[in-house]
Structure 1
Amino acid sequence: MAAVRMLVLRSGLAGLRPWAASSARFMSSSPSFQFVEVERRGAEGSVAVVALNRPTALNALSEALMSELGQALDAAEREASVGALVLTGRGRAFAAGADIKEMRGRRFPDCYREDFLANWDRLARVRKPVVAAVNGLALGGGCELALMCDVVYASEEAQFGQPEILLGTLPGSGGTQRLVRAVGKSLAMEMVLSARRLSAHEALQAGLASRVCPQAELLDQAVALAERIARCSQVATTMAKEAVNAAFEVGLAEGCRLEKRLFHASFATRDRQEGMDAFAEKREPRFTHQ
Structure 2
Amino acid sequence: MRNRKLGNSDLQVSAMGLGLMGMSGTYGATNDIESTRTIHRALELGVTLLDTANIYGNGHNEELLGKALKGRRDQAILASKFGFLPDYTVSGHPDYVKQSIDESLRRLNVDYIDLYYQHRVDPDVPIEETVGALSDLVTAGKVRYLGLSEAGAETIKRAHAIHPISALQTEYSLWSRDIEDEILPVVNELGITHVAYSPLSRGIISGELRKFEDLAEDDIRRWLPRYQGGNFQKNLDVLEEIKKIAEDKNATPSQLALAWTMEKGALPIPGTKRISYLEENAAAVNITLTPEDLERIEAVSPKNLVHGERMQSEQMKQTNL
Q: Kindly name which structure, 1 or 2, has the bigger radius of gyration based on alpha carbons.
A: 1
Whether TM exceeds 0.5 here: the answer is no
Q: TM-score, normalised by structure 2?
A: 0.31
Q: TM-score, normalised by structure 1?
A: 0.33
